[in-house]
Structure 1
Amino acid sequence: MIQMLKAQCTAELQRILRNPYYVFWSLLMPILFYIVFTRIVNTGVEDASWWKTHYLMSMTSFSVMGSSIMTLGIRMVQERSNGWATFLRITPLPGSVSFLAKMAGQTVMHLFSIVVIFLAGFLINGVSLSAGQWLACGAWVLLASAPFLALGTIIGSMSRVDTASGVSNAVYMILAITGGMWMPIDILPKVVQRISVWLPSYQFGNGAWAIVHGDAPQIKGILILLGYLAVFMVLSMYIRKKQEAV
């Protein structure tokens, strides 16, 4: 069983690295945004050092959230539409091992994204944090991405790749903008601000922002993320059971 899991994890990692969605949305786009909004565009923030650190965490969260929703979700739809999921069912590989390998592979790629974007922040803007802060931020982004992985499995239950791509793009962009990842929510309309604090994307980014500014993630934010995780997991399992029953 362990050997099967290792082999499947290796295969999943190779497939993710070949996926253009991962390379673009999870690595190139966040780093490009980081350069534009910290080196080119004058955002008007008085404390440039604060902004460069804050926005680094925004783009790291943005990257991992996108990988969870789009890379995972679209890949799952592609597997089913290409008949790969059906083929796996007639092999000795248990479905639980395949799913576990998929989650493990995605988690490893999240860790890779975190390291790459943190390194970009250090090299591009000289972002300086204590070792404890770097580790705490990395651990937070890695663990708190769980609700978006669950959301990715819901996207992955769709029947068509183009539908999944369109829906995941829309969900990803809306969550990023309203969650304050592209710009602070303070400049958004008041109505949007009141909604934003209840969104998983805001609480996801807010935990990392709190750590780099010397605080700890709020208990309220953790509970909101756990609530979304539970809802998305239940919904994903319900959809899959219905699909299997057909």
Structure 2
Amino acid sequence: MKALTNQCKAEILRVFRNPYFIFWSLLMPIVFYFVFTRVMQVGADDPVWNAHFLMSMAAFSVMGSAIMTLGIRMVEERAKGWSNFMRVTPLSGAVYFFAKMIGQSLVHVFSIIVIFLAGGLINGISLPWTEWILAGAWILLGSLPFLGLGVLVGSMKRVDTAAGVSNVIYMLLAITGGMWMPMEILPKAVQAVGNWLPAYHYGSGAWEIIRGNLPDMKNVFILAVYLVLFMILSSYIRRKQEAV
């Protein structure tokens, strides 16, 4: 237990020292939120829209942290031989892996709190405390498929390849998931694709919560399917890599 705790602390410190995390997961979503709601004034100070977009930016932040921060860090560690070095230490592979997942999830809690606070400071967002907690819990738990996608990205061999691929995936998911603009105003083709991708169902669950509802079971099912799919693919690829 002590080894897991210490490794979690190390993982959290490494994330906060990562410029990718600072830019993509904290600075960029807050800037987007400010520009869309205060500069461009999309929604014309509508409190419902402002809360909706706040949830979108919180989900956007956590999704990016899961895909890019985790994935690229795993590739860097393997490229520098750190993963091989860890195998000769007393720290087991399971503890090393779970420390990454737990550490990344704790960082996500921090991201959610920071962006929720930004919503209160920028637009005075006021929601019942139950909705704040439920929305935060959904965004945290709903990030599991994207952590799985981050692990899949982490199986790549080159850091520059992982960075490029994860950037493209991140942006495509954000666009097709309706995180930058309401899904209803996107082209029909984008809506059709987005309805089967995890980002839309991730954001949709949070949007439903701030409207006083619970996430739809389809949201839960689609996210669960993608979690299983990403973990199976990453496990298969890692077994092949270890065999070689």
Same fold by TM-score, threshold 0.5 exceeded?
yes
Q: Which residue of 2 aligns with 1:17?
A: 16
**In structure 2, distance between residues paired with 1:171 and 1:102:** 21
**In structure 1, distance between residues paired with 2:30 and 2:159:** 27
Measured on the aligned residues, the alpha-carbon RMSD in Å equals 0.8
SS of structure 2 residue aligned to 1:127: coil
Deviations 1:191-246 (A, max 9, x none): 11111111100000000000001111000111011011111110010000000000
SS of structure 2 residue aligned to 1:201: helix
Q: Which residue of 1 aligns with 2:180?
A: 182
Shift of 1:107: 0.3
Q: Which residue of 1 aligns with 2:82?
A: 84
Shift of 1:29: 0.2
Shift of 1:47: 6.4
**In structure 2, distance between residues paired with 1:64 and 1:142:** 8
What aligned pairs does 1:186-205 form with structure 2 within 5 A after superposition?
Answer: 186-205=184-203
Q: Which residue of 2 aligns with 1:143?
A: 141
Unaligned runs of 5+ in 2: none
What aligned pairs does 1:1-246 form with structure 2 within 5 A after superposition?
Answer: 2-43=1-42, 45=43, 48-246=46-244
**In structure 1, distance between residues paired with 2:44 and 2:84:** 56
2:225 corresponds to which letter in structure 1?
G
Shift of 1:42: 3.2
**In structure 2, distance between residues paired with 1:190 and 1:219:** 23
**In structure 2, distance between residues paired with 1:179 and 1:19:** 26
Deviations 1:130-181 (A, max 9, x none): 1100000000000010000000000000000000000000000000001000
**In structure 2, distance between residues paired with 1:194 and 1:164:** 27
Q: Is contact 2:204-2:215 (8 Å) kept?
A: yes
**In structure 1, distance between residues paired with 2:187 and 2:218:** 23
2:24 corresponds to which letter in structure 1?
W
1:171 corresponds to which letter in structure 2?
I
SS of structure 1 residue aligned to 2:178: coil
Give the TM-score of the pair, scaled to structure 1: 0.98
Instruction: Give the aligned length.
Output: 244
Q: Is contact 2:105-2:140 (8 Å) kept?
A: yes
**In structure 1, distance between residues paired with 2:44 and 2:100:** 43
Unaligned runs of 5+ in 1: none
Q: Is contact 2:37-2:45 (8 Å) kept?
A: no
Q: Is contact 2:79-2:157 (8 Å) kept?
A: yes
Give the TM-score of the pair, scaled to structure 2: 0.98
1:175 corresponds to which letter in structure 2?
L
Q: 134-143 or 181-190: which moved more?
A: 181-190
SS of structure 1 residue aligned to 2:155: coil
**In structure 2, distance between residues paired with 1:223 and 1:237:** 21
